[in-house]
Structures are given as structure tokens and as C-alpha cells.
């Protein structure tokens, strides 16, 4: 075996890869290699607040497409994922939303000691340089700037006060504070004080790029983890048409995202034995969970004609309400995130039809999906995209979330506070609701799971 060059090899410079590169290289005794399939994050569209939609379908996007989704009228869904330094934190909508506290507490109840919300809250706070100042739930001085929606044109007291009028807390409820559910407020964003995206790359990687013990290599698509005697000893990757290998004394850390991570594990012989053998891959570890348990958040646009012409927002959205569609009690885990924008936002204008006048847009998001999917290899060719089947809306419970979401939206729209913006429902309008849901839901780009 060639002499090892590094103590750690990190595959993928997305959110987790950037953080790990920062933390591990803080120890000068560690030699760290960070491999990224994409290029560096120099595009102006990354850093401009409204520019990220210009990156969809570009070379900075993996452009993953699902298999035909039976419950979505056989539609295939494009899932944009960042192929660039910073990963999807360089091309997303910059919203800063913590996981629900009850989700973490459930992990503890399932014998995962140390994963209750009280245990992870200090780490959420450690991330933050919170514009609103310190509190039991927020901190300042962290690497990532967090602020309430800075785009005044994206804020909407019509929405927040309308939600209060029908019984929710607010306005200006802090969903990352004492309680996430049943309060309407402003979305929080990872945006710097001077109005730039604050990605994982700019927050964690840029300050340490010059460390002598950190090597960052772009355009390096890892094709295989090298395993000897049951231990990962290095990786093989392709760069500029050339196949290269690099070895490690310590650990290979796979941070390649929900789709590429299981693909890479399976290409390396780690995964369900029958699937690997069917693709002609020698089995190193028969691990049935690799590629399984795929879950994703879905969104559904609900559009109203507005009675007033408002300025065009720069951000995609600005206001939010978290609630449960099945249990309104405090402490119930929200299964619905309801975003709202008071006018058609600039990032979406190239993709929206001409509505013939001003509109406002509700965006219900299903955040506790019951439909479970999988990721499989298309072939043993490392450059073939994986087969992605999220099984969107296969579970009837997920459809019920959207049905109830539309009811909540209609209740808010009928309030006195919302009156100026309610010029009539355009979509779904008179359409049959289930047909509208199945024909119009799409990903919110939050796939998870697949590497158990």
C-alpha cells in the first residue's frame, strides 16, 4: 500500500464536510483532505440573495431526478442538490430552521441517551451569531449569522396577524425559541449583516482555508472507498478525466449527501448483498439499511389574487407558522410548516406564469413525512446517477396533511387582518383538491436518511 498522506479524508464539502474540515484541522497534528466533486463557490449567484434559482440546472447542481412517482400521476421530480463548495448550503433559500424539540426527545426515549433537545440545544446555540441577541435559546459570537427576515418586502403582518386572529400565537413568534409550534412569525435566515448568503463554506471553511494542514481539492468525484481487511484505507477519485488514489492513516468520512453517500457505499461493497451482487459488485459488508429510509419534505403552492400591489420581495419567502394538522395542543409535534410571501418573489418570477395582476403565495410544507423511499444503484458505473424513489405521497397520511393545510390557509385568508390580500383563491380554487395536491407537490430539497 502506498504511504498514507492524510489522517482524515472527508468526502464532500457540503454543510457537514465544511464543519468537519474546520474542526478536524483545528488540531495542527491532523492532516486533513477535503474532496469536493464540484468547483469552488465563486459564482455571484451564490452570494446574491435572490440569485440561487439561477443555479438550478447549472453545473453547480447535481440535477437529480426521481423515478416516476405513482402517487404523483407518474411525474418525475427534479431534486436540486449543490455540487459546489458549500454543497446545498450554497444554492438553497438560506432559511434557518432547527429540528423540532420533540423529535430529539423521541430519540432519547428510544434509548439514544444524549440526543434529547436539552442535550443538542447548546450545539444549536454554538452555531449562531444571532442578530436578536443572547437568550436561553440563542447565542452570539458563533460562526453562522442568523437573523429574522431582513427583506422588508417579504415580511407580512397580514399573514401573521391573520394567524393570530384564528388562534395562533404571534405575531413575530420565534419558532427557534421556547416553542416551535402554534406561533406565527418571521422566518430566520443565514444572511450576513451586509446582505450576503452565509453558507457553510463562508462560515466554516473560508476562515481556515489557509491552514497548512488542510488540503481542499475540487473537481474530485470519489468513485470508491478503498477497503483492506475490513478497514477503509483510502479513496479512489476522478479528476479531470484522470483516476487517482489517496490513502489515510485515520478515517474516511463520507459527507456526500443523501443520494451520493449511499451510492458511494454501495459501489464500495457496503450495502444490501443481493442488490450489490445484481450489479456485479463484491460484497464487503452486507448492510441492508444502506439506501433505505429515504424521506423528504414536500411543498405545495397555494396562490391568492391580491387586492393590493406590493413591492417584489428579494427572498423566496419571509413568514412562517408551524402547527400540527392532527393535534393543536402545545407540545404536539408539528407536521406542517406554512410559509407565506405577500407578493410573487423575484427568484421565482422566471418560473411563474403571468397571473394578470398581483398575487400572494402560501407554501404549505409537510415536515413529518410518512412515505418512505429508497436509493439504489443504476449500475456499477460510478458516473451513473442513482435510482431515486422517494415514494412521494404513497402514505395517505401525507395527503391528509395537505388537505388540512389548505383548510388552514382558507381560514387565514378569511380573517379581517388578511383582507387586503384576499382577492380570491386562484389555486387550487375550484379544482378537485386531491388531484391538485398530487399534480402540484414538489420537493423542498430536504432529502434525508439512506445511510443506516
**Which residues are identified as catalytic?**
446
DSSP conformation letters of 260-324: HHHHHHHHTTEE-HHHHHHTT---SEE-TTBT--BB--EE--EEEE-SS--PPPSSS--EEEEE-
Q: CA-to-CA distance for 254 and 10, rounded, in angstroms?
A: 6
Strand partners, 84: 39
* CA nearest to 23, candidates 199, 141, 200: 200
Residues with Cβ within 8 Å of 152's Cβ and at least 6 positions away in sequence, in order, are none
Q: CA-to-CA distance for 247 and 237, rounded, in angstroms?
A: 11
* CA-based radius of gyration for the chain: 23
Neighbours of 271 (CB within 10 A): 29
- Nearest 5°: CA angle at 257, between 253 and 263? 85
Phi, psi of 448 (to 5 degrees): -150, 170
Neighbours of 63 (CB within 10 A): 15
Q: What stretches of 129-230 show up as alpha helix (H) in DSSP?
A: 157-165, 200
* Under 8 Å between Cβ of 370 and 401: no
Q: Provide the CB-side half-sphere exposure for 355 (13 A, CA).
A: 21
Neighbours of 356 (CB within 10 A): 8
Amino acid at each position: 500500500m502506498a504511504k498514507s498522506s492524510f489522517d482524515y479524508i472527508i468526502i464532500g464539502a457540503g454543510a457537514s464536510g465544511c464543519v468537519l474540515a474546520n474542526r478536524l484541522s483545528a488540531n495542527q497534528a491532523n492532516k486533513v483532505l477535503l474532496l469536493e466533486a464540484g468547483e469552488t463557490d465563486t459564482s455571484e449567484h451564490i452570494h446574491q440573495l435572490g440569485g440561487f434559482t439561477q443555479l438550478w440546472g447549472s453545473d453547480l447542481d447535481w440535477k437529480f431526478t426521481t423515478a416516476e412517482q405513482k402517487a404523483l400521476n407518474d411525474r418525475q421530480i427534479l431534486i436540486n442538490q449543490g455540487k459546489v463548495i458549500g454543497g446545498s448550503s450554497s444554492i438553497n433559500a438560506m432559511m434557518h430552521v432547527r429540528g423540532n424539540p420533540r423529535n430529539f426527545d423521541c430519540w432519547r426515549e428510544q434509548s439514544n441517551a444524549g440526543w434529547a433537545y436539552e442535550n443538542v440545544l447548546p450545539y444549536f446555540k454554538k452555531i449562531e451569531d444571532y442578530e436578536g441577541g443572547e437568550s436561553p435559546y440563542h447565542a452570539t459570537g458563533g460562526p453562522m449569522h442568523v437573523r429574522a427576515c431582513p427583506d422588508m418586502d417579504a415580511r407580512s403582518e397580514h399573514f401573521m396577524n391573520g394567524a393570530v386572529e384564528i388562534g395562533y400565537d404571534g405575531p413575530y413568534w420565534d419558532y427557534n425559541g421556547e416553542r416551535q409550534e402554534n406561533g406565527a412569525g418571521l422566518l430566520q435566515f443565514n444572511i450576513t449583516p451586509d446582505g450576503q448568503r452565509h453558507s457553510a463554506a463562508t462560515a466554516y471553511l473560508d476562515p481556515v482555508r489557509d491552514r497548512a494542514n488542510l488540503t481542499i481539492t475540487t473537481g474530485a468525484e470519489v468513485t470508491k472507498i478503498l477497503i483492506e481487511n475490513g478497514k477503509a484505507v483510502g479513496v479512489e477519485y476522478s479528476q479531470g478525466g484522470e483516476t487517482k488514489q489517496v490513502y489515510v492513516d485515520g478515517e474516511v468520512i463520507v459527507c456526500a449527501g443523501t443520494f451520493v453517500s449511499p451510492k458511494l457505499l454501495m459501489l464500495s461493497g457496503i450495502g444490501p448483498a443481493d442488490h450489490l451482487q445484481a450489479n456485479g459488485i463484491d460484497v464487503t459488508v452486507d448492510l441492508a439499511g444502506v439506501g433505505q429510509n429515504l424521506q423528504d419534505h414536500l411543498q405545495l403552492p397555494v396562490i391568492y389574487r391580491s387586492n393590493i400591489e406590493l413591492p417584489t420581495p428579494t427572498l423566496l419567502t419571509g413568514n412562517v407558522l408551524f402547527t400540527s394538522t392532527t393535534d393543536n395542543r402545545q407540545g404536539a409535534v408539528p407536521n406542517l410548516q406554512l410559509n407565506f410571501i405577500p407578493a410573487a418573489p423575484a427568484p421565482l418570477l422566471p418560473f411563474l406564469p403571468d397571473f394578470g395582476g398581483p398575487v400572494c403565495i402560501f407554501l404549505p410544507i409537510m415536515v413529518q413525512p410518512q412515505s418512505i423511499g429508497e436509493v439504489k444503484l443504476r449500475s456499477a458505473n460510478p458516473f451513473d446517477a442513482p435510482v431515486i424513489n422517494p415514494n412521494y405521497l404513497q402514505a395517505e397520511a401525507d395527503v391528509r396533511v395537505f388537505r388540512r393545510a389548505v383548510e388552514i390557509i382558507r381560514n387565514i385568508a378569511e380573517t379581517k387582518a388578511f383582507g387586503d390580500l384576499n382577492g380570491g383563491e386562484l389555486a387550487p380554487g375550484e379544482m378537485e383538491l386531491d388531484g391538485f395536491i398530487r399534480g402540484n407537490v414538489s420537493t423542498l430539497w430536504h432529502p434525508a436518511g439512506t445511510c443506516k
